[in-house]
């Protein structure tokens, strides 16, 4: 009997030793133009290292500032053979562009370039420049056929509003494939909870207060869930003495200024959450709330410009 008990103890210890860590393992790096942090509650250093290497490789592939990658070839030549992963991401981006009626628009690159130039010259874009730029923006200008992507009408793609979510999903999938059951992936506020805490309780994820980004608006419970926030409190364009949002309305060409201070989307896919957070921020509360209500796997927390906070029914508030 004693021997059985001893054996049981050994096997329990073994299980505890392999299934969870006494101390979580955490690593941070500046990638994707932001701070990326991954915390493993099970898994080892080597898994963490390869996960970061994959994020860096995804950045090389999807950044529009790397002139030799697939995205730049497509933007420059108007057509390009792309990898299956890129074709899948572009196809998904088209889905959310359509779903949001172009509030999130994967061809927003010329508009981003216009406002970057405006900031560099410290002068608002002229009406003529805005009209000319808007003529090039429109997701119907992009087609994806197998692994061939084609752009018409001078359109260019900008993955800035969806790539961090997609890369967070890929990192989470990689961790799961390698046996990790408990981790937090945070790519500059694009958060994926892989599994739950080692005790089985959901993770608690903080949502920044857009009116005071050092403070938290609330914390939410998250297990196998993405939590992604879009707002203008961190990035933007300064022209004259005014700060403009870096999120642009593809219908008007103007930086977003509406009744929202930030939008947080909660759903299983960080790719969807990233695209819809941007879309909802452009749409304003009423239209965004209607869009979210129609998506059965998706919830949202709206931080209103006037300080109110509105969460949809499925959001599990931790505090
Ligand atoms: P962040 O990347 O700061 O977390 P977002 O996910 O909302 O925020 O993405 C903003 C970026 O997406 C911008 O910097 C720009 O490159 C691009 N962008 C801006 N407006 C739009 C839009 N309406 N649709 C698609 N992409 C956009
Ligand atoms: Mg986004």
In order along its 319 residues, the chain shows pLDDT tens digits of 444 444 433 333 333 434 556 689 999 999 999 999 999 999 899 999 999 999 999 999 999 888 899 999 999 999 999 999 999 999 999 999 999 999 999 999 999 999 999 999 999 999 999 999 999 999 999 999 999 999 999 999 999 999 999 999 999 999 999 999 999 999 999 999 999 998 899 999 999 999 998 999 999 999 999 999 999 888 899 999 999 999 999 999 999 999 999 999 999 999 999 999 999 999 999 999 999 999 999 999 999 999 999 999 999 999 8
Residue to probe by mutation, ligand 1, list 117, 169, 247, most atoms within 8 Å of CB: 247
Residues with CB under 6 A from ligand 1: 104-105, 108, 112, 158, 160-161, 164, 230, 235, 246-248, 250, 274, 278, 282
Contact 92/121 with Cβ under 8 angstroms?
no
What pLDDT does 22 receive? 63
- Residue 205 phi/psi, 5-degree rounding, is -120, 130
Q: What is the pLDDT of residue 66?
A: 87
Q: Would you state the structure tokens that stand for residue 306, as one six-digit string? A: 């006037």
Q: What are phi and psi of 223, to 5 degrees?
A: -135, 125
Q: Of the candidates 234, 220, 96, which has an alpha carbon nearest to the alpha carbon of residue 165?
A: 96
Distance CA 77, CA 197 (A): 47
Q: Which residue of 246, 249, 260, 276 sits with most ligand 1 atoms within 8 Å of its CB, as the best mutation to test the pocket?
A: 246
pLDDT of res. 2: 42
Give me ligand 2 centre to Cα 243, in Å: 19
Six-digit token string for 47: 């898994």
pLDDT in the model for residue 234: 82
DSSP-assigned letters across all residues of 241-302:
TEEEESSB-TTT-SBP-SSEEEEEEEES-HHHHHHHHHHHHHH-HHHHHHHHHT-TT-EEEE
Q: Enumerate residues 6+ apart whose C-beta is below 8 A from 88.
A: none
pLDDT at 25: 96
Neighbour-count burial for 169-206, b at 16+ CB within 10 Å, e otherwise = bbbbebbeeeebebbbbbbbbbbbbbbbbbeeebbbbb
How many angstroms does the Cα of residue 23 sit away from the middle of ligand 2? Answer: 32
> Rounded to 5 degrees, what are φ and ψ at 263?
-130, 135
Structural tokens at position 73: 């070839």
Q: What is the C-alpha to C-alpha distance for residues 57 and 250, in angstroms, rounded to an integer? A: 29
Question: What predicted TM-score, i.e. pTM, was given to this entire model?
Answer: 0.93
Sign of CA dihedral 51, 56, 57, 58: positive
Mutational pocket test of ligand 1: of 109, 278, 281, 287, the residue with most ligand atoms within 8 Å of the beta carbon: 278
pLDDT at 16: 40
Distance between CA 180 and CA 195 in Å, rounded?
8
For residues 65 and 92, the answer to whether their CB atoms sit within 8 Å is no
Instruction: Tell me how many degrees the CA angle 180-164-55 measures, rounded to the nearest 5.
Output: 55
Tokens found for residue 318 = 């931790």
- pLDDT score for 23: 87
- Cα–Cα separations (whole angstroms), residue 92 to 135, 271, 278: 23, 8, 15
Please, which residues have CB within 8 angstroms of residue 149's CB and are 6 or more apart in sequence?
74, 79, 80, 82, 86, 87, 90, 142, 143
């Amino acid at each position: 009997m004693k021997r059985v008990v001893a054996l049981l103890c050994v096997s329990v210890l073994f299980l505890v030793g392999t299934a969870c860590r006494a101390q979580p393992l955490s690593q941070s790096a500046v990638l994707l133009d932001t701070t990326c942090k991954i915390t493993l509650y099970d898994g080892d250093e080597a898994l963490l290292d390869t996960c970061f290497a994959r994020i860096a490789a995804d950045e090389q592939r999807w950044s529009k500032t790397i002139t030799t990658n697939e995205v730049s070839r497509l933007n420059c030549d108007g057509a390009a053979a792309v990898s299956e992963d890129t074709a899948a991401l572009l196809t998904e981006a088209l889905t959310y562009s359509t779903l949001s009626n172009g509030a999130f628009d994967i061809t927003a690159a010329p508009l981003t370039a216009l406002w970057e130039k405006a900031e560099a010259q410290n002068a608002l874009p002229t009406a003529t420049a805005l009209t000319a730029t808007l003529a090039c923006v429109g997701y119907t200008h992009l087609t994806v056929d197998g692994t061939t992507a084609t752009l018409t009408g001078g359109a260019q793609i900008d993955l800035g509003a969806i790539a961090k979510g997609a890369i967070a999903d890929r990192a989470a999938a990689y961790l799961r494939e390698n046996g990790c059951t408990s981790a937090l992936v945070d790519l500059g506020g694009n958060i994926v909870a892989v599994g739950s805490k080692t005790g089985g309780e959901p993770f608690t994820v903080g949502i920044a207060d857009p009116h005071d980004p050092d403070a938290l608006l609330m914390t939410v419970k998250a297990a196998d869930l993405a939590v992604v926030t879009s707002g203008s409190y961190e990035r933007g364009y300064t022209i004259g003495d005014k700060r403009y949002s870096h999120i642009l309305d593809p219908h008007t060409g103007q930086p977003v200024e509406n009744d929202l201070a930030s939008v947080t989307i909660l759903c299983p896919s960080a790719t969807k959450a990233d695209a819809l957070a941007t879309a909802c921020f452009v749409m304003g509360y009423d239209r965004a709330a209607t869009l979210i209500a129609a998506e059965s796997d998706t919830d949202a927390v709206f931080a209103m410009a006037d300080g109110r906070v509105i969460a949809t029914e499925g959001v599990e508030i931790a505090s």
